[in-house]
Structure 1
């Protein structure tokens, strides 16, 4: 049967439409001025994001750190929630500070580096290593190991734990 007389299926139309949309979306993503922090870790719109750690709350924290939209004070001040962008140690509390610099979490960071060195050969911590989603071309399971160890660090620091004020007084904003 000649190619010209062949019937086009709905699946082919959907596939071509999807491909066209993905190409347009990728171009917009590459040329956009917003979401650049997230773009550093997810440059491709087709890239799948996997839940490497079974703890959804910790995965959510990692996503916050990747996007820059987190409960860290540097972000909270940008959105008008906090009065100070500073960490308890006195430095600007950014993602980089929390993961790489804060003296309050130095012991936990040391444990993270020790584990990553033993398991993956990582000798220096940096944002790309900790938050990028790409797997290593020669080390199978590299990304899962890093995500798992980063999850342990996040839990150990306690920085992203929900802190609810405890009070015996009834709340005046709740009406029975």
Structure 2
């Protein structure tokens, strides 16, 4: 390899001494690499941290029902939230990267309204699948994941996934968390 480099340098020096003008290659314009539809996997922090939070919540609140799982990185603070309830109370576990700790607090008493918001996390699309599906709906305009959440709305668990665009706007994709039926795309 060293001999090839030496020969290349020698050739260039000789060419310049002899007045040989070689055309200069022009670099092509940079083309941004477009990620594939699989923009996240189970190891992505937005996914793996949420799974850890959910598992911890269910271990700490045995028999609890879940009514919220979310990831939000809209600002410089990353927030993960898992909400749920058991037969007595409503709880919310929140992790922020600035505090680097999980706060698990009792936030209220169980009501009929709260009970209607429950969903079984084992029946919804996995978060990585949800984010990738939402990204595909953004038609290549999404540049970063801002947030995702799954909550029950009108009796149906729904994912809401928000992406930032290059022109500092957002794209919001909402779909059924169980069937994957697309409900809306707001650009």
Q: Give TM-score, length-normalised by structure 1.
A: 0.22
Which is richer in strand? 2
Q: Give TM-score, length-normalised by structure 2.
A: 0.21
Which is richer in helix? 1
